[in-house]
């Protein structure tokens, strides 16, 4: 009987387990989970604070998931070493877990820059895990002043999650705009305005020079008083286990299309991995949940003796703030064209006759049709792309293609 080990307990781990079980019903699966919690959806922690979900509903899989899949889960234990030659994972609590195939789905950790005086701050939190959210929930109160360092996806979702529960929120970022990893300047300005209208204050192109207890002294010289500090500067892939075992690591653990690392029998998936970006054509860490699940699933199938490739990873984000939805996908290169209507903004990036990327603010209806054009690299001269810029529709395809899509099994 084959022995599988999965390090991690998030979407990539679930994908891996479901991938293994799609081919191998009997193999032994051991899951090493640092968090002593049943698998839950990390991105839902802001929705939890907002009251849009609760601890039961935010479980990513049913509470019988591990039981049903015959997994032994080491909750509250941490993998500390991979012995690649002996094919064994050593844990903090002293277990030596042997494997025939191992998947590292260890996620990422918050990156905290060495701010001067950070140790003088009493109430400071990250915003990655459910424990972070629960700790933050305990610390906030209705007149609480919150400073969030980082105007990225994590920092801003945190801001939305607690907006109704605190007195004031200030978000600062070294970047000159919000969501700088997914939005261009024009789009970021629209979102910033919307967030400001929703009661969030910003200090952009500025960062904390030092902290003095409940005060941040900014590089600009401004001073911000706060009761609670949230650090959401960025994340780093948890790649150390594989690096220490001699595996190839860059920003993340280097994997091929099958999810395999450079170490025999060792796979990786999710936020800790650096795999092929099908649109960019090179490797990068794509720390988004759909890729985590899909990469994990591919790794699991291959660990169980299958032969599957996950060659469709691409950046994409769907994220809403205070009722306004943003969707982005692909890369923003080539020629940009835009459509503005009823407060919605759509930007499309076309290069070499194919759609490479888009940014939608509002107007997200049926956006998956656009995403599929990027994913399939559909030559735009074979469809009526122009007509679809206002609203994504299946009318852009030829009747033959539509017959396949809607008249056949897909």
Partner 1 sequence: MKRVYVNEEWCLGCHLCEYNCAFANSKLDRMAGLKGKKIFPRIHVEGDDRITFAVSCRHCTDPICVKSCIAGAISKVDGVVKIDRDKCVGCLTCVLVCPYGALAPGENGTMQKCELCLSNRAGKPACVTGCPNGAIVYEERSEEE
| Positions that interact with partner 1 (CB under 8 A) | 11, 14-15, 41, 43-44, 47, 52-53, 57-61, 289-290, 293-294, 297, 316-320, 325, 327, 329, 364-369, 371-372, 375, 392-395, 399, 402-403, 405-410
End-to-end CA distance of the chain: 35
Nearest approach in angstroms of CB 319 to partner 1 is 7
Side-chain half-sphere exposure of 64, counting CA atoms within 13 A: 1
- Residue 52 or 138: the one with the smaller Cβ distance to partner 1 is 52
- Residue 91 or 291: the one with the smaller Cβ distance to partner 1 is 291
- Residue 43 or 98: the one with the smaller Cβ distance to partner 1 is 43
Q: Please enumerate in sequence order all residues whose Cβ is within 8 A of that of 193, keeping only pairs 6 or more positions apart, or say none.
A: none
What does the block give as tokens for 357? 């990327």
Tally of CB atoms within 10 A around 408: 7
The residue length of the chain stands at 410
Nearest approach in angstroms of CB 61 to partner 1 is 6
- Residue 181 or 394: the one with the smaller Cβ distance to partner 1 is 394
What does the block give as tokens for 163? 């907006």
- Residue 265 or 290: the one with the smaller Cβ distance to partner 1 is 290
Q: Please enumerate in sequence order all residues whose Cβ is within 8 A of that of 22, keeping only pairs 6 or more positions apart, or say none.
A: 300, 301, 304, 306
Nearest approach in angstroms of CB 355 to partner 1 is 13
The DSSP-derived string for 108-162 is EEE-----BTGGG-SSEE-SSSHHHHHHHHHH--TT-EEEEE--SHHHHHHHHHH
Name which of 175, 170, 271, 178 is nearest 230 in CA terms. 170
- Residue 14 or 151: the one with the smaller Cβ distance to partner 1 is 14
- Residue 177 or 297: the one with the smaller Cβ distance to partner 1 is 297
**191, 193, 218, 237 from 324: Cα distances, Å:** 8, 11, 30, 30
Helices and strands, number each (H, E), in the chain: 11, 26
Distance (Å, whole) CA 55 – CA 59: 7
């Amino acid at each position: 009987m084959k022995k599988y080990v999965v390090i991690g307990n998030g979407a990539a781990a679930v994908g891996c387990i479901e991938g293994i079980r799609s081919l191998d019903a009997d193999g032994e699966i051991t899951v090493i989970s640092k968090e002593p919690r049943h698998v839950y959806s990390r991105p839902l922690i802001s929705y939890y604070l907002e009251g849009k979900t609760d601890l039961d509903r935010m479980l990513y899989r049913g509470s019988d998931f591990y039981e049903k899949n015959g997994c032994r889960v080491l909750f509250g234990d941490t993998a500390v070493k991979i012995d690649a030659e002996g094919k064994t994972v050593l844990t903090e609590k002293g277990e030596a877990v042997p494997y025939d195939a191992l998947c590292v789905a260890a996620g990422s950790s918050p990156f905290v820059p060495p701010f001067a005086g950070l140790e003088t701050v009493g109430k400071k939190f990250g915003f990655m895990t459910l424990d972070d959210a629960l700790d933050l929930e305990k610390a906030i109160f209705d007149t609480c002043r919150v400073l969030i360092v980082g105007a990225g996806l994590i920092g801003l979702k945190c801001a939305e999650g607690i907006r109704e529960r605190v007195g004031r929120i200030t978000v600062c970022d070294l970047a000159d705009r919000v969501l700088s990893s997914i939005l261009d300047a024009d789009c970021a300005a629209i979102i910033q305005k919307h967030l400001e209208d929703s009661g969030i204050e910003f200090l952009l192109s500025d960062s904390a020079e030092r902290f003095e207890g409940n005060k941040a002294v900014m590089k600009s010289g401004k001073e911000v008083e706060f009761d609670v500090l949230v650090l959401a500067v960025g994340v780093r892939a948890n790649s150390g286990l594989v690096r220490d075992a001699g595996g190839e690591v860059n920003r993340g653990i280097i994997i091929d299309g099958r999810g395999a690392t450079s170490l025999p029998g060792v796979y990786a998936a999710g936020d800790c991995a650096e795999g092929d970006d099908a649109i960019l054509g090179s490797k990068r860490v794509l720390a988004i949940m759909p890729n985590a699940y899909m990469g994990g699933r591919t790794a699991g199938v291959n660990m169980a003796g299958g032969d599957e490739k996950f060659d469709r990873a691409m950046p994409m984000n769907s994220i809403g703030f205070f009722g306004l939805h943003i969707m982005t996908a692909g890369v923003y290169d080539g020629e940009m064209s835009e459509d503005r209507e009823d407060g919605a903004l759509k930007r499309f990036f076309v290069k070499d006759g194919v759609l490479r990327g888009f940014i939608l603010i509002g107007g997200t209806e049926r956006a998956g049709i656009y995403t599929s054009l990027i994913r399939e690299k559909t030559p735009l001269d074979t469809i009526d792309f122009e007509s679809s810029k206002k609203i994504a529709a299946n009318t852009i395809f030829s009747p033959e293609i539509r017959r396949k899509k809607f008249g056949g099994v897909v």
